[in-house]
Structure 1
Amino acid sequence: MVESSKHQFAFDLIGRHVETLIEPIQFNLDALASDYRDEADFWMGGFYDHDGNASNGVTYGDDIFSDPEIGDAVWDSPRPPRHPRPQS
């Protein structure tokens, strides 16, 4: 288990072991999914606080967003709350 108030400790520890600089990155997963919705085969997704018959859940399968019964619930549901990245 690795614990640190700076959240950089694990990257430094692994980087020293493999003798290279390892830095964390951030990317917008929602934008990526939106940009590639038509080309990608999304096989897993979760949703919560959705209106209708399915309020929350996790789906698995081929192209889950195209599924006529659950696809819209997964795509249109609110995203889980994100915790801001701590400043180093």
Structure 2
Amino acid sequence: MTKEGGTIISIPTGLSEEVRLKAASKGVQGYFFLVESNGSDMEQIALLLKNGILKPHIFETYGFDQMREAHLQQETGKTVGKLIVTT
């Protein structure tokens, strides 16, 4: 839950009108960003991760053979953080 005065930023799906209205009624700002990455940006992000400046929130790590479980988790709408699939 986002506190009053907080901000919601949606990158992959945008914000529905319902979410915008609910957020606004609670004093929360909602924004949608469409991003386009490039190799240089990815290198900078990788460096920040490597140096511990950025710390991702990992919800769960799955093996490739657990892809179905990873999808089912994502579909719950209750995943907070990233789902990692390893080979």
Same fold (TM over 0.5): no
Larger relative helix fraction: 2
After TM superposition, the score normalised by the length of structure 2 is 0.28
